Amino acid sequence: MTGIYVFSGTGNTLKCAAALRDALAELGAEAVLHEVKDGSEKAAEDDLVLCYPVYGFNAPLPMLRFCRGLEAGRGGRVWFLKTSGEPLRLNDNSSAELTRILRKKGFDIRGEFGYIMPYDIIFRHTDEAASLMWETAKRRIPAAAKAIAAGEGTLPAPGAAAKLMSVICRIEHGFYPVNGRLFRVDKSKCLRCMKCVESCPEGNIRYVNGRFKFGGRCVCCTRCAFGCPADAIHIGVIDFMRVNGPYDFTRDPQKAEPIKYCRKAYERYFSEQ
């Protein structure tokens, strides 16, 4: 039995993880999908697939907490499934800290699979580009399932730049809870639907006496602002990077315009088998 543990801020990683579970089922390999919220969850299965979105060239804090909480010495094989907005090799070192923690506990790290999915911060991809990303991920995920079912996989060999970026950007992770306290709700837009309060994986948003309160546990998953039906949530000093509203993954991927930023890297990724 394989346990697929997913932290997903805005749903991209969850989509890929569910596709992996289905691809494993097609191969007759049983897998159960569990959502990781704040990382305090426990894992019972021997084989684990840990799924996360890349944040600042690293794994998000809830996934780090989850790995720190795993029992040492029980053994087991681990694969990573990650999603990222950029098809850059700079993301290659994102599992390094998870790997270090897990190896110390005696886990056998077998491989990593990475899929490009649309940005939930920085800028908005077009729906056609998002559809192309999703179609590409769906095309590639069965190969990951095959590798996992066979107990195989490969790990990226991060270059010096990727290592440097991930070390530098760990500072960014310390900034998230500080910035999270600066989140605010535009009352003139807010529908009081409480979606942000109910969906925050960290339980960091409260509504008290008619006011929204953002605590100190923000991991910058952007779920609150991305999922706000009124686009009423400002995300602190990085508000200029806010992306709001779900992507429509059903658009015609053939109509996706070339992505201007990192164009060659995206093209290479989309054309690879």
Ligand X SMILES: Cc1cc2nc3c(=O)[nH]c(=O)nc-3n(C[C@H](O)[C@H](O)[C@H](O)COP(=O)(O)O)c2cc1C
Q: What is the contact surface with ligand X in residues (CB under 6 A)?
A: 8-14, 53-57, 83-86, 91, 117, 119-121, 220-222
Q: Which is nearer to ligand X, 103 or 170 (by Cβ)?
A: 170
Q: List, in order, residues 6 or more apart from 246 with CB less than 8 Å away.
A: 11, 226, 227
Which residues are within 8 A (CB) of 264 and not within 5 positions of it... i.e. 6 or more apart? none
Specify the residue, 29 or 172, whose C-beta has the smaller distance to ligand X: 172
Closest approach of ligand X to the CB of residue 266, in Å: 11
Locus of tokens 């599992």: 95
Q: How far is the CB of 216 from ligand X (least distance, A)?
A: 16
Tell me whether residue 8 or residue 131 sits nearer to ligand X (CB atom). 8
Q: Report how far residue 133's alpha carbon sits from residue 128's, in angstroms, rounded to the nearest whole number.
A: 9
CB 183 to ligand X: min, Å: 13
CB of 168 to ligand X, least distance (A): 11
Give the Å distances, CA to CA, from 35 to 31, 217, 255. 13, 18, 33
Cβ atoms of 241 and 85 closer than 8 Å: no
Integer angstrom CA distances of residue 1 from 36, 44, 77: 18, 10, 11
Q: Write down the least CB distance from residue 71 to ligand X, Å.
A: 26
- Rounded least distance, CB 46 to ligand X, Å: 25
Q: Which is nearer to ligand X, 124 or 213 (CB)?
A: 124
Contacts with 111 (C-beta within 8 Å, 6 or more apart), sequence order? 79, 80, 147, 148, 152, 153, 154, 155
Nearer to ligand X, 150 or 168 (CB): 168
Strands 2-6 and 31-35, bridge-based pairing: parallel
